[in-house]
Each structure stands twice: as structure tokens, then as C-alpha cells.
Amino acid sequence: MMSPETAGPITKYYYGLPSERKPLLRQSWDNKVYRVARKIKKVGQDDPRRIVHGLKVGLALTLASLLLFYIKPFDLLDEDQNGIWAIMTIVLIFEFSVGATLGKGLNRMVATSSAAALGVGIHKIAIRSSGAGRATVIGFFVFTMGAICTFMRFVPAFKPYDYGLMIFILTFSMVSVAGYQPENWGKNVQDRIVTIIIGSVIAIVVCIFICPVWNGEDLQNLIAKNIEKLGNFLEGFKDEYFHKGEYFPKSEDGQPLDNKPFLKGYKSVLTSKSSEETMANLARWEWQYRFGFKHPWKQYVKVGALTRECAYKIEALNSYFNFEFQAYEFRSKIQEQCKQICSETGKALKELASAVKTMTKPTSVNIHIEKSKVASRKLKLLLDIILLEDYNLREIIPPAAVALILIDVVPCIEKIANAVHELAYLAHFKTPDSILSP
Amino acid sequence: MMSPETAGPITKYYYGLPSERKPLLRQSWDNKVYRVARKIKKVGQDDPRRIVHGLKVGLALTLASLLLFYIKPFDLLDEDQNGIWAIMTIVLIFEFSVGATLGKGLNRMVATSSAAALGVGIHKIAIRSSGAGRATVIGFFVFTMGAICTFMRFVPAFKPYDYGLMIFILTFSMVSVAGYQPENWGKNVQDRIVTIIIGSVIAIVVCIFICPVWNGEDLQNLIAKNIEKLGNFLEGFKDEYFHKGEYFPKSEDGQPLDNKPFLKGYKSVLTSKSSEETMANLARWEWQYRFGFKHPWKQYVKVGALTRECAYKIEALNSYFNFEFQAYEFRSKIQEQCKQICSETGKALKELASAVKTMTKPTSVNIHIEKSKVASRKLKLLLDIILLEDYNLREIIPPAAVALILIDVVPCIEKIANAVHELAYLAHFKTPDSILSP
């Protein structure tokens, strides 16, 4: 008999206190099911919009199937086989964000129509011959268009139209090939285009009008959050590094510092390049009332890149937690200016983050940056006049290098601030007065 | 008249020497066409496999269309509308690498078959009622399955089956919905599954047997190249940083150092995380004779992550190019050991890179690492005994910090070496003897 005390915490939690022993295989299976279930639950908890997205796709599919198969509103859809193209379109284009859905939907509609038109042209050429001749003509065009369009998908300039190119090959091949058997041919092509447009419209409407997920907002939040994480690090670093002399945080194994999440948060900034670029590309498809047609998405990418540059410096700062904290007396000499730089740049970054998030012009950022510049100049002078006789070099390098990196961080933050100011100008950020006044 | 001398170099190159003036609009259009053409050419030159890929897709499409529509080998394909499913399958699953194509193809075949089976089940339930009842049953199942499967696509554990889940929703919805009109229904579903399998097989066969692109090899090469880039940096850094006293590389604007590509090469390592992970996931679908079933792809990702850790340190080293090179006398005191660390770690990294690339066990890596450790210990001692009276702190911090980072790089390289040794064990790398012996 297995006593309740020996059951793992997970089993206990799942079953309450087990009243009798379960076979080992059963137990491990239960644990596995529980673990998977917990993971799935976490996916929903992390971002509840994912659950909503699932329901939206279900809704769009049900709408399309009821509309096209049950109510049959369009006379032209008499051949019901074509109705499945609406279902297919919805499954293939319905993405999480409005930008991705709109991009795919527009790509699909334009590519389908143009490829169908071209396919009809090829068909007209092909029907002049018959048998082997027709097969040769169609085979030639399918091969050539397939090869060219597939190659074009590698060209960076065509990346936003990648899905369109794929659909173009698909439709063109299908329309041309269907020309082998020309009975009912024109009608079929027409019907399919109409159903594809219906499917696209259903997907786009459901995506936009029920709890929409705007890529533009997500990008804004990501950029703002990344800037904020750097600010959190700098403010936290100040307290951790210059706290007291005997303090040994020792982060190499990550143990004692794990309960200080602000010292780890910036790590995700180091690798967020590709998601920022993808989001900026998708955001361009969103013509949202809030952002307008010509929102400067590229500028967000620029701010993101500068933030990452700064994150590399912070990674370097972080590495000095690995060294033993000695030279207390030396550190206490430079700590005032270092702390000043950390706290002023931290404040500046936090204000920049909130400016990006709320689309408000930053106001006091320049004051903080000026203060940090003053501190940085003072620190430089201080480093010049410190007498070194009494020190051991290896002990004082880490704090001295920290000081030097902090001096180096200041122009980095200034670059981010300038990029955000430019963004505020380009994107017509609000002036804070309009918020303060009632 | 525009003289040949005032024409831009691009125009000259394109037209030869222009004999008469062109209208401005025409010129800029020509330039634009030329620029786009040059970009497209570059895409092909950068990786000629892209051109081959285009031709392969064209070939697969032509094969499928000829086979299914012209030769008509299968009696069961009498309703020719179903033949287009082969075309569609090829366009949707034919990817650049074997891993991606195989993954999508297998996903598609399994998902189509299982979704069709489930759809048939729902159909049998639905036909017991009629009219509104049937629509309700089908609508309910389409909604539920669509919502659940769409949500599941967010769960990380299901990422390799993402495409399968999508196809599952697609097929399930189409099969269930087609059940509204049951005439010819079973035959249609059967035919489609057969054509989808034919399309998948054509795509997979063409992808594997004509100039295949193996994701596993690409991943190996990427990891090896990244390690090599770090080695190049360290070897190059040694010569650049400790070259002579008056040398000012000044890389902040990137101008004078641009002709030293080894000092910039490591930058791409900083952001290669997502492509490494994608490649490792796709490589799992490739059961290649060379790599075998259970090749440790995760270990490659681990090596890649350690390489990136080291790249962050190198980014910190690189930032010291921004400081003016003073304290020549101080630098000359530590330069021997620093150079030793750079050159030994550089050699170790290059051997590790070639080990990963050629799948051969590294042999002399440990010797280089031991040498670099000895140099690192000597450097530490040296830093302890240097007398600081004659120095200005701000001048000596940069070289001293460089020394400290170099000391810190050594255990980093050792970690990479250990991970590669583990990889060599797990992946049964050759011992170099088997190459040397005839």
C-alpha cells in the first residue's frame, strides 16, 4: 500500500489523497495526460485570445457551410462541389492576426483572379490543337510558370506576396490543366472564383469584427515591452550591483538571481529580431482607423534594432555578476555616478516605453538623458583622477568595466530616444496635454 | 545632350555608352528594372539550389498533370474534377528542403485519411435526420472540431503537426459538409484521398531524387559556420587589437573596419536562434542514410545556443574597438597572453567547426583549450602583479576589460567543445583514422 505521503505532489494535487495504490503504468499515464492537459491549459492562459481565435475559426467555417450548402443563396453555385472552395479558403487564410488574414485574403483573391484569367488565355491557345499538341502546350506553360513563380518566392522584395505567388501557381495550373477536358469548364472556373471570394470575405469579416487581434498593436506592445525590460534591468542592476560590499549574487548557475526576474527579462530582447520584422510586415496590411494608412512600421523595426543593440551592452553588464564582488572601497568611490546613470537611463527607457505604448509624445525623457550625460561626464573625470596605488588591478577591473559600459550605454539610450522622437513625429503621437485636460 | 561621362555607372554598364539622351522617366524606369533584375539574379547566385527548386516544382506539376489528365492511368479517377487535388497537393507541400516536404506530405496524407474517416462517421450520424436536424448536427461538429483543432495549433508540442492539424480541419469540414448532398459522396471522398496521396508521392519523389536539399546538412553547415565565424573573429581580433599602439580602427560608423569582414561575421550568430530551431525541427522528418533515424538534432540546437552565448561575449569584446587605443605600454605587458588565448581558442573553434561539418571526431581541440587555459591562468597572475602607479585608470580599463573578457571566453569555448564532444558521441562521428588510412 502506497501511503499518501509518498505520492508525488502532482499526483496528490490531481487525485486528492489516493485511497488505494494504482498500477505504475496507469500512474505514469495519468501523470502524462495531466502534464499535457496542464500545458494545453497554459497555452490558453498565456494568451486567452487564442481560445477566442479557435472559436472564431469554428464560427467562420459553420457560417460558410450553412450559407453555401444549406441556404444556397447563389444560383451560380448549382454545382455544389465548388462550395468546398469557400471552406478551403477559410481554413487556409484565417490567421491569428488581422494583418496576416487580410494579407492572405487579398493575395488569394488577386492571385486567383489573375491566374484564372491567364489560364483562360492559355486554354484558348491550347484548344487550337488537340491530343499530344494540346498536352505539350499546357505542359510547357505549367512547367514554365511553376518554375518561375516558385523561384520568385525566394526574392525578398516579393515576400509580402509569397502566399499570392503560391496561389497563382496553384490556380494557374488547375485552370490550365482542367482545360484538357473542356466540358463545363468556364462555368466551373467562374464559380470557384466567386466561392473563393465569398470564403475570403467571411474569414476577413469574422476576423476583423469579432475581438480582432491587430498586429500593429502587438508590435507596438512588443517594442514597448522590450524597452521597458531594459529599463527594469538598469534600475534593478543599480540596487543589486552597488548594494553592499559583501554581496555575492553569483548568477552563473542562475540560482540566487532567479527570484529577480528583472535581471533575466532583457534576454528575450536579444532574440526578438525576426518576430519584430514579421509583425512589421504583417502590420502593413492593416489599415486601421487608429494607425492610418501610412503608419511608419519601419520606424518601429528601427527602434527595435537600437533596443537590441543596447541589450547586447546590457548582456555585457550582466556578465560582471559572474565576478566576485571585491574592491568595495573602489566601488563606493564610483557608485554614486554609476547609480545616477542607471536610474536616469532606467527612467528614460521607462518613459520611452510608455510613450510607444500609449502613442503619446515623451516629454521628460530629454531631461533624464541630460542628467545621465552629466553623470557620465562626472564619472569619466572621476575615473581619470582616481589614484591607483592601493588597488589590485584584477579586483578593480570588473567595477571599472561596469562603469565604462554604463558610460557607453548613455549614447545608446540617446539613440533609442531619438528614434522614438522620430517615430512620435512620423506617427503623429498625441501631446500629453490632450490627456491631462478633461 | 547628356555626355557619357555624366551617366551613372549603372546606366553605363547596362547600355554601354548611351548615344543619345533618354527621357528622365524612361531612365529611372530602366534603372528600376535593372535594379530589380540584378536583385533577382543575386537571389539565384547566392544559392543556385533555388533555381533548381523552381525547376523541380515545375517538373512535379507537369508530371502530375500529364499523369492524371492525359494518360489517365487510374480507373477510379473518372471524375476528372478530383484530379486537381494532386496539383493542389504538390503546390502546397513542395518545399525547398526534403525535411519540410516530407513533414508536410506525411502530415497531409495522415490528416486527410483520418479526417475523412471521422467525417464519414459524422456523415452516418447526420443522415439519420434530415433538413434542419442534419444541418444542426453537421454545423455543431464543424464548429467544435474547427475551434478545437485551431486552438491546438498554438500548443508548442503540436508544432511539428501544425500543417496536419490545418489539413485535418480542412478535410473534416469538407467531408462533413459535402454530406449535405449525399449523391456520389463516398466515391468522391475516396478519389480525393487517392489523388492527394498520388500528389504527395510525386512531390516527395521529385524532391528527394532530383538534387535533394537536406535540412540536416544545412543545419550542420549553419552550426559549423557560426562556430567558424567566432574563431575568425578571435584570430582577427588578436591582430587588430594588439597590432600597434597608434592604430585606431574606430568601428562605430563601421567605416574603416568594413574591409575586415571577419570582424563583422559573428553578428549573424547573434540572431540565428529561430532558424536553427526551425531547421532542427524539420531535420527530424529526414531519415537519411547518412544521419540515420535517431540523429541527435537537439544537440545541434544546444551547440548553437552555446555558440550564441559566446557570441554575446564577442560582441562585448567588439565594443572595445570603440575606445581610443591608448595605454600602449600597458597593452604590451598583457598582449602576449591575450594573443595566446585568442589564437588558441580561435584554433579550437575552427577545429570544432570542421569536426561538425565533416562529422569527424575532433582530436586536437583539447590541446588548444588546455593551452588557452594556461594562458588564461598566466594572464590572471599578471593582472594581479601589475603595478598601477604609472597608469591612468580610464586609459587602462579597455585593455584590462578585454583581458578579463578573454579570460571569460575560455570556459565558454570549453562548454562548446564539450557539447561538440557529446554530439560526436551521440551521432557516431568518424574517428579521423578512418579518413587517413587508405
The C-alpha cell of A379 is what? 564619472
Is pLDDT of A82 > 70? no
Q: Residue B8: which pLDDT band, with cuts at 50, 70 and 90?
A: very low
- Say which range, A17-26, B117-126, B128-137, B260-269, has the weakest mean pLDDT: A17-26
Residues of chain A in contact with residue B95, where contact means CB-CB under 8 angstroms, are none
Indicate the pTM of the whole model.
0.81
Chains A and B form CB pairs within 8 A to the count of 250
Q: Do B173 and A65 touch (CB under 8 A)?
A: yes
User: B114 vs A69, A86, A89, CA distance in Å?
Assistant: 23, 21, 21
Q: What is the pLDDT of residues A369-397, one digit of tens each?
A: 999 999 999 998 888 887 777 777 778 88
Is pLDDT of B193 > 60? yes
User: Which residue of B35, B67, B91, B278 is the best one to mutate when testing the A interface, meaning the one whose CB has the most A CBs within 10 A?
Assistant: B91
Spell out the SS3 assignment of A170-228: HHHHHHHHHCCCCCCHHHHHHHHHHHHHHHHHHHHHHHHHCCCCCHHHHHHHHHHHHHH
Predicted local confidence at residue A376, as pLDDT: 94
Q: Residue A173: which pLDDT band, with cuts at 50, 70 and 90?
A: confident
- The C-alpha torsion from B284 through B287 and B290 to B293, rounded to 10°, is 80
Q: Which member of A50, A59, A401 has the closest CB to residue B143?
A: A59
Mean pLDDT of chain B: 82
Percent of chain B with pLDDT over 70: 80
Over range A73-82, report the average pLDDT. 52
Residue reference for cell 587517413: B436
The more confident residue out of B190 and A83 is B190
Percent of chain A with pLDDT over 90: 38
Residues of chain A in contact with residue B146, where contact means CB-CB under 8 angstroms, are 54, 57-58, 60-62
Over range A50-68, report the average pLDDT. 90
Percent of chain A with pLDDT over 70: 80
**Count of alpha carbons within 13 angstroms of residue B278, beta-carbon side:** 10
Q: What is the pLDDT of residues A116-169, one digit of tens each?
A: 889 888 878 887 877 778 778 888 999 999 999 999 999 988 888 999 999 999
Predicted local confidence at residue B175, as pLDDT: 82
Predicted local confidence at residue A19, as pLDDT: 44
C-alpha–C-alpha distance, residues A287 and A204, integer Å: 13
The SS3 assignment for A360 reads strand
Predicted local confidence at residue A412, as pLDDT: 93
Over range B153-180, report the average pLDDT. 86
Predicted local confidence at residue B183, as pLDDT: 60
Q: What does the buried/exposed string (b/e) look like for B320-355 if buried means 16 or more CB atoms within 10 Å of the residue's CB?
A: bbebebbbeebbeebbebbbbbbbbbbbbbbbbbeb
Q: Which member of A150, A312, A383 has the closest CB to residue B394?
A: A383
Across A24-28, A170-174, A224-228, the highest mean pLDDT is recorded for A224-228
Predicted local confidence at residue A254, as pLDDT: 43
- Provide the sign of the torsion angle of the four alpha carbons B63, B68, B70, B75, taken in this order: positive
Chain B: give the shortest CA distance to residue A245, in Å.
20
Q: Which of A283, A291, A109, A277 shows the shortest CA–CA distance to A204?
A: A109
Chain B: give the shortest CA distance to residue A24, in Å.
25
Chain B: give the shortest CA distance to residue A381, in Å.
9
Q: Do B154 and A383 touch (CB under 8 A)?
A: no
Q: Which member of A61, A174, A322 has the closest CB to residue B88?
A: A174
Is pLDDT of A438 > 80? no
The answer for residues whose C-beta is within 8 angstroms of residue B313's C-beta and 6 or more apart is A316, A319, B405, B408, B409, B412
Q: Which member of B44, B87, B380 has the closest CB to residue A177?
A: B87
Predicted local confidence at residue A339, as pLDDT: 92
Residues of chain A in contact with residue B138, where contact means CB-CB under 8 angstroms, are 65
Predicted local confidence at residue A80, as pLDDT: 53
Q: Do B398 and A404 touch (CB under 8 A)?
A: yes
The C-alpha cell of A277 is what? 520584422
* Residues B198, B64 contacting (CB under 8 angstroms): yes
The more confident residue out of A109 and B184 is A109
Residues of chain B in contact with residue A188, where contact means CB-CB under 8 angstroms, are 81
Nearest CA in chain B to A41: B155
Is pLDDT of A13 > 70? no
Is pLDDT of B13 > 90? no
Chain B: give the shortest CA distance to residue A180, in Å.
7
- Say which range, A272-276, A388-392, A409-413, B10-14, has the weakest mean pLDDT: B10-14
* Residues B303, B222 contacting (CB under 8 angstroms): no
Over range A19-29, report the average pLDDT. 61
Helices and strands, counts by H and E, chain A: 16, 0
Q: What is the pLDDT of residues B196-228, one digit of tens each?
A: 888 999 999 999 999 999 988 899 999 999 999
Mean pLDDT of chain A: 82
Q: What is the pLDDT of residues B91-105, one digit of tens each?
A: 999 999 999 999 999
Q: Which of A160, A99, A427 shows the shortest CA–CA distance to A295?
A: A427
Is pLDDT of A435 > 60? no
Q: Do A319 and B316 touch (CB under 8 A)?
A: yes
Is pLDDT of B392 > 80? no
User: Which residue of B97, B151, B161, B322 is the best one to mutate when testing the A interface, meaning the one whose CB has the most A CBs within 10 A?
Assistant: B151
Is pLDDT of A103 > 50? yes
Q: What is the DSSP letter of A390?
A: T
User: Which residue of B104, B169, B397 is the best one to mutate when testing the A interface, meaning the one whose CB has the most A CBs within 10 A?
Assistant: B397
Q: Do A322 and B139 touch (CB under 8 A)?
A: no
The more confident residue out of B293 and A107 is A107
Helix (H) or strand (E) segment spanning residue A10: helix A9-15
How many Å is the Cα radius of gyration of chain A? 31
Q: Residue A18: which pLDDT band, with cuts at 50, 70 and 90?
A: very low
Predicted local confidence at residue B69, as pLDDT: 64
User: B191 vs A93, A297, B83, B347, CA distance in Å?
Assistant: 25, 47, 9, 60
Predicted local confidence at residue B6, as pLDDT: 39
* Residues B84, A178 contacting (CB under 8 angstroms): yes
Is pLDDT of A351 > 70? yes
Is pLDDT of A352 > 90? yes
Residues of chain A in contact with residue B174, where contact means CB-CB under 8 angstroms, are 84, 87-88
Percent of chain B with pLDDT over 90: 38
Q: Which of A413, A412, A403, A401 shows the shortest CA–CA distance to A346?
A: A413
Is pLDDT of B264 > 60? yes
The answer for residues whose C-beta is within 8 angstroms of residue B23's C-beta and 6 or more apart is none
Q: Which member of A65, A170, A393 has the closest CB to residue B386?
A: A393
The answer for residues whose C-beta is within 8 angstroms of residue B350's C-beta and 6 or more apart is B227, B228, B231, B232, B235
Q: Which member of A44, A61, A155 has the closest CB to residue B173?
A: A61
Over range B379-385, report the average pLDDT. 87
Q: Do B87 and A174 touch (CB under 8 A)?
A: yes
Is pLDDT of A14 > 70? no
**ipTM, 2 dp:** 0.81
The answer for residues whose C-beta is within 8 angstroms of residue A395's C-beta and 6 or more apart is A326, A327, A330
Is pLDDT of A258 > 70? no
Is pLDDT of A183 > 90? no
Is pLDDT of B76 > 50? no
Is pLDDT of B419 > 90? yes
Q: Residue A356: which pLDDT band, with cuts at 50, 70 and 90?
A: very high
User: Which residue of B394, B406, B407 is the best one to mutate when testing the A interface, meaning the one whose CB has the most A CBs within 10 A?
Assistant: B394
Predicted local confidence at residue B81, as pLDDT: 62
Predicted local confidence at residue A2, as pLDDT: 40
Helix (H) or strand (E) segment spanning residue A98: helix A98-126
Q: Which member of B142, B154, B315 has the closest CB to residue A43?
A: B154
C-alpha–C-alpha distance, residues B379 and B385, integer Å: 10
Over range B387-412, report the average pLDDT. 84
